[in-house]
Structure 1
Amino acid sequence: MTAAALLSCVNLSKYFGALAAVHDLSFDLRPGEILGIGGPNGAGKTTLFELISGLNPASEGRILFEGRDITRLSPEAICHAGIARTFQLNASFDKLSVRDNVRVAAYFGRDNRIVPGLRMGRETETHVDAALDAVDWRGDQHMLAGQLPVLDRKLLMLAGALATRPKLLLMDEPVGGLNPQEIEHMMATVRRIAASGVTIILIEHVMRFLVQLSERVMIMHHGEKIYEGPPQGLVRDRTVIDVYLGEGASQRLSALMESGA
């Protein structure tokens, strides 16, 4: 782990029988950085998030967060330490209101609550307000989560993650299923969150979103890292083109980055 790293994954592997979902993966993440992760389906991207967030134990290797070994910690302990995540599929309590969903995250997400109180208190409400403001929530906070459209459900999940006051936010396919206008909205939201000081790792197949937001990109294939570097290098890397982008997508991506659009 470098002295400046917030997160370090060191020779990390996860095996399911003979299948190596993640194999001998190492990388560092600096505070305040946005790291984008791409790769084909089955490359091990979401499994990597599960290892970092504690939902699946690593088979080998170590995960260090602020210099502390969190490899074997429980998901709640990792969340309390300052790592939050969103999921590919919408994760919310559908029969609770928007505000109550974020209240639950704010109340339980950063502290052990062995014996919860009868009331959540003013401090929790302050964190709820801050989280909803961070995603620029403009809808009805009393609407049931299950009634929300796709973009609002993603923003609610993001607000719940932010309500835990994370230092590191893991975002798994945040714009999957969104139209171009909604993607722009999410892009502005992520930039605002990053500007507030939250470090971000995001997984995404929408390459325009990935390269426009990320300071550094890592491409995975069969559980291994095949590229790590600036977004501009993707379109010149022969292995990335052959196994992931293809010639057409590579040319379109190159034109996008050259135009600065």
Structure 2
Amino acid sequence: MTQTAAATPLLSCQRVRKSFGALTAVRDLSFDVGVGEILGIGGPNGAGKTTLFEVISGLGAVSAGTISLDGQVITGLAPQQICHAGVARTFQLNAGFDSMTARQNVLVGAYFGQKNRAVPTLRAGRAANEATDAALEMLGIADKANVVTGLLPVLDRKLLMMASAMATKPKLLLMDEPVGGLTSGEIDRVMEAVRTTKRAGVTIILIEHVMRFLVRLSDRVMIMHHGEKIFEGAPHELVNDRTVVEVYLGKGASEHLKTFMDAAHG
């Protein structure tokens, strides 16, 4: 755990468990995330990573344990309440309203993502429109604002999800496999977008299988397996952890990652 996480936890998960009948997808998991930190989560398919995001964001109820955001318990709150408290999320698949423009998609996030709208109005209002334009500009897709979402390429769809999330003005952004299916150059574009988001003061937790992306961005890495934490520490320590190599990276990938990290720090 970094000193930042230990001193100033924005998110705290304590003995969190999520079971589906006899299957336990997340098993008594505890960790903190510090203000301004990027925590990267890796692990094999079925390790419980996305399920963890489900319970943090309120899309799935925890079976046991406590989740706190900025010192306030959010366990058991509805997804919209957790969003309004400051948690935003992107998904593995490109979520969006395909028949609406990119700007209209982000405007939905800006309008509904910050407070309750029991009786929505016909006009979004100045604040929501300003948040929308700022988010599109931040993610570098302002020139695509009037393009119908269903016509956007994969990279722009992923950046659009980030813009929609940022329009809610979150404290914490959860990103689930943000670079899946992208080319090397496109991965670099998303990497810079994540750095921009961090510079804007947002704390980030990201799930990713692309290890180059994970280790270059993360301040700290957590590896999950069968719903449990098998590693937590600095990115450069991954390749020296026997359990991580055996159950996740494999010897070949571990050596390749070590070479990459040595070159990056050389």
**TM-score of the superposed pair, with normalisation by structure 1:** 0.98
Matched, 1:96 2:100: yes
Structure 2 residue ranges without an equivalent (≥5): none
Residue 161 of structure 1 corresponds to which residue in structure 2?
165
Match of 2:255 among 238, 251, 254: 251
Matched, 1:233 2:244: no
- Over residues 45-85 of structure 1, what are the superposed CA-to-partner deviations in whole Å (9 max), with x where a residue is unaligned? 00000000000000000001011110100000000000000
Match of 2:9 among 5, 10, 24: 5
Match of 1:78 among 79, 82, 102: 82
Residues in 2 aligned to 1:240 and 1:84: alpha-carbon distance in whole angstroms: 29
Matched, 1:143 2:175: no
Residues in 2 aligned to 1:64 and 1:2: alpha-carbon distance in whole angstroms: 14
One-letter amino acid matched to 1:158: M
% identity of equivalent residues: 62
- Over residues 125-144 of structure 1, what are the superposed CA-to-partner deviations in whole Å (9 max), with x where a residue is unaligned? 10001111111115331111
| Count, aligned residues | 261
- Over residues 192-250 of structure 1, what are the superposed CA-to-partner deviations in whole Å (9 max), with x where a residue is unaligned? 11011100000000000000000100000000000000001100000000000000110
Is contact 2:136-2:145 (8 Å) kept? no
Match of 1:220 among 224, 227, 233: 224
Structure 1 residue ranges without an equivalent (≥5): none
Residue 134 of structure 2 corresponds to which residue in structure 1?
130
> What secondary structure does 1:62 align onto?
strand
How much is the aligned-residue C-alpha RMSD, in angstroms? Answer: 1.1
**TM-score of the superposed pair, with normalisation by structure 2:** 0.96
Residues in 2 aligned to 1:4 and 1:167: alpha-carbon distance in whole angstroms: 13
